[in-house]
A and B are shown apart, each in its own frame.
Chain A
Amino acid sequence: MATSAIRKRKFNANEISAGTNAVINTVFWIYSALCVIPLLIVVAVSLSDERTVTVEGYNIWPKKFSLGAYDFLLNDWKPIVHSYGVSIFVTVVGTLVALSIMTLYAYPISRRDFKHRGIFSFIVFFTILFNSGLVPFYLTYKQGLHLQNTMLVLMLPMFVQGFFVILIRTFFSGSIPPALIESAKIDGAGELRTFVRIVLPLSLPVLASVGLLCTLNYWNDWFLSLLFINQEGPMSIQFRMYKTLLDIAYLSSNSQAYSAIMQANPNFQMPSETARMAMAVVGIGPIIFIYPFFQRYFIQGLTVGAVKG
């Protein structure tokens, strides 16, 4: 990698012409701008004055700066903080459990000397190939296990994902030399000790990647909430954002209070458009913040699964 980069520098003639390079650069600047602009619009609207927005429309720059929307959210911070708590809990616990049980399952089916590994590999494979569809899945959780409105229902369906199990298994069988396991056995270590002391420390790269992909899946999930959570249940931050976009009343537990104020003072405007976007900013925040640090591992994880060698 490093040597090829150095060689590339030497091989100047092997590069594209300056003109083509300029064209490519321009195209990428435009595309990168297109990736960022929508986010800027959301941030700008959230920092704008409500009345200006409703009259003049959204803009990439706050025409009239105002912190009204954030003020409104702060006044009513409890539901948002609660949603954050739900999201963080589901993400952390879900990822830890998912990663543990998937790794524990992947190890035996990676062992060539395990006679029945074919059957157990197939059990996982088949779930990638065939799924039951939404209706029986829903009925199993709701009428079979009665798990609606629990945290568990937001975690359990994503505990074991076939693709991740296969990914970890592939790593185990490809990157852990069987001789190493053999020698541990000869030294008298049991299967579990071998697994914990020798296999796991060597597998940190794949575990980090799968763990991050799980984290992302849990954090971004709203579908399970849509299916199984109603007003009484734990509301994750994504689900609250979804509800807020449908109906501004979900933003706040004080919407009645606000309508009372509005009746008393017709000039008062509840910051609905701007508060919506402020809610989106609050929801996007962590992802944007974490993203630069973990991007490398994500890319590793994605490419491990797709590109071999």
Chain B
Amino acid sequence: MEMEQATPTVPAAIDKPVRKAVRAKTLNQGYWKRYGVFYLMMAPALIVLIVNNYIPMAGALIAFKQMTYASPSFIQNFMDSPWVGWGNFKYLFASSDAWVITRNTMAYNAAFIVLNTIIGVGIAIALNVMRNRTLSKLHQTVLFLPYFMSWIILSYLVYAFLNPDIGILNKFVLPWFGAEPIDWYSDSKWWPVILPLVNTWKGIGYYAVIFLAAIVGIDNEYYEAAHMDGATKWRQIWTITIPLIRPVIITMTLLQIGRIFYADFGLFFQVTRNAGALYDKTLVIDTYVYQGFLVSGDIGMSSAAGLYQAVIGFILVLGANLVVRRISKEDALF
């Protein structure tokens, strides 16, 4: 597909009114001639965006409706359903669920952010100062491996430890300490410990790799100068490495804060095996919406919870980005 190339050139020598007229004419003809091919290039992705993102966004209005299912067509149902204003939201926030899922989502994500940042930076620095380069590469490879596994695989691995009858913990570890076996999938007490452990185990390679990339980018002359001045390696880490990768640390943290209202569905659904007995400690907004909508069929309440999440999430992303812009403009998302 070849498009004829035409660049409308307007001689600057023409006086103003004439130039305006000429430009308007050439622009209208020239714009499509020139940029039409761009629109062709963008068309497929635009169609996907409309279907996949923008139509559902309009559909988010069902949070304000009491959906009925008289017709097989969604549009028809949407039109026929009565508006109920804030009814669904009132219903949601009147229950204790809203508080529990908000608390769980934010508390777990806050814990994940702290763990990812501190352990990630620690691992990255340690990998960087390790004397043996080959070993450093080897460990980097191994601890990045879990990042590649799906949550399904993770649920298998966790199940191997927590299987109440024959899992590693109940069969070997707890007896070894002389403790009673625990029914992990019906006793929610331990999950605030288990979930951060599992999440860190799976994701820490990603953060370590990103922080390591930032550390590797630091010019060696800083360290040499510090060494001349008699700074120990520890001093160098505190006074050179950490200050120089601070923008990256802050950006990564803020990106996560922007997503603090979105839980990782896979972690909370697969690893807990969606066990109802654990819900007080493991139910988050995402799993609540799924459960309420596709299991209980409570469309009003779940769409209200979904919109509540989207709106608060939107505000948080904007806020986090605003802070990033203040700190380092080029790291900002927009």
| A residues neighboring B (CB under 8 Å) | 1, 4-5, 7-8, 11, 13-17, 20-21, 24-25, 27-28, 31-32, 34-36, 38-39, 41-42, 45, 53-54, 56-60, 100-102, 104-105, 107-109, 111, 114-116, 120, 123-125, 127-140, 143-145, 156-157, 159-160, 165, 185, 188-193, 195, 216, 219-223, 227, 238, 241-242, 245-246, 273, 276-277, 280, 283-284, 287-288, 291-292, 295, 298-299, 302-303, 306-309
Contacts and interface: CB of A to CB of B under 8 A. Distances in A.
Given A136-B62, A143-B73, A238 B160 contact: no
Interface stretch (B9-17, B98-106, B108-116, B151-159): B151-159
A277 B156 contact: yes
A191 B160 contact: no
A308 B331 contact: yes
Contacts of B270: 222, 242
A299 B209 CA distance: 7
B60 A302 contact: no
Contacts of A137: 52, 56, 59
Given A139-B74, A291-B145, 14 more contacts: A31-B143, A36-B142, A102-B45, A131-B57, A133-B307, A135-B306, A136-B55, A145-B51, A165-B45, A220-B151, A242-B152, A276-B156, A307-B217, A308-B330
B3 A190 contact: yes
Interface in B201-229: 201, 206, 209-210, 213-214, 216-217, 220, 223-224, 227
B317 A129 contact: yes
B130 interface: yes
A28 B139 contact: yes
Is the contact region of chain A dominated by helix, strand, or loop, or is it mixed? helix
A25 B4 CA distance: 63
A198 to B, nearest CB: 14
Interface string B55-79: 1111110110000000011110100
A11 B226 CA distance: 12
Given A27-B126, A115-B35, A192 B1 contact: yes
24 contacts: A24-B130, A32-B138, A59-B172, A101-B48, A102-B45, A111-B38, A131-B310, A132-B310, A133-B56, A133-B289, A133-B306, A133-B310, A134-B286, A136-B62, A140-B59, A145-B51, A156-B52, A190-B5, A192-B1, A222-B270, A223-B265, A245-B273, A277-B160, A306-B251
B47 to A, nearest CB: 9
A223 B160 CA distance: 22
B148 to A, nearest CB: 5
B44 A129 contact: no
Nearest to A295: B141
Given A58-B163, A129-B314, A105 B157 contact: no
Contacts of B227: 11, 13-14
B49 A127 contact: yes
Given A32-B139, A190-B4, A302 B209 contact: yes
**Closest 9 pairs between A and B when the two form their complex, measured CB to CB:** A133-B306, A136-B59, A57-B171, A132-B56, A220-B150, A143-B74, A105-B45, A108-B38, A57-B166
A220 B146 CA distance: 12
Contact of B220 (A4, A13, A160, A246): A4
Contact of B293 (A109, A111, A135, A185): A135
A111 B35 CA distance: 11
Contacts of B220: 4, 7-8
B41 interface: yes
A38 to B, nearest CB: 4
Given A54-B166, A102-B45, A160-B49, A135 B62 contact: yes
Interface residues of B, number: 111
Given A11-B224, A114-B35, A284-B149, A45 B160 contact: yes
A130 B57 contact: yes
A175 to B, nearest CB: 15
A21 B165 CA distance: 41
B121 interface: no
Nearest to B206: A302
A309 B217 contact: yes
Contact of B309 (A16, A133, A156, A190): A133
Contacts of B77: 143
B143 A131 contact: no
A124 B126 contact: no
B115 to A, nearest CB: 14
Given A14-B227, A129-B318, A159-B45, A136 B60 contact: yes
B46 interface: yes
A112 B166 CA distance: 62
A303 B5 contact: no
Contacts of A138: 293-294
A12 B254 CA distance: 37
B83 interface: no
A133 B144 CA distance: 30
B209 A227 contact: no
Contact of B302 (A101, A125, A134, A277): A134
Nearest to B330: A308
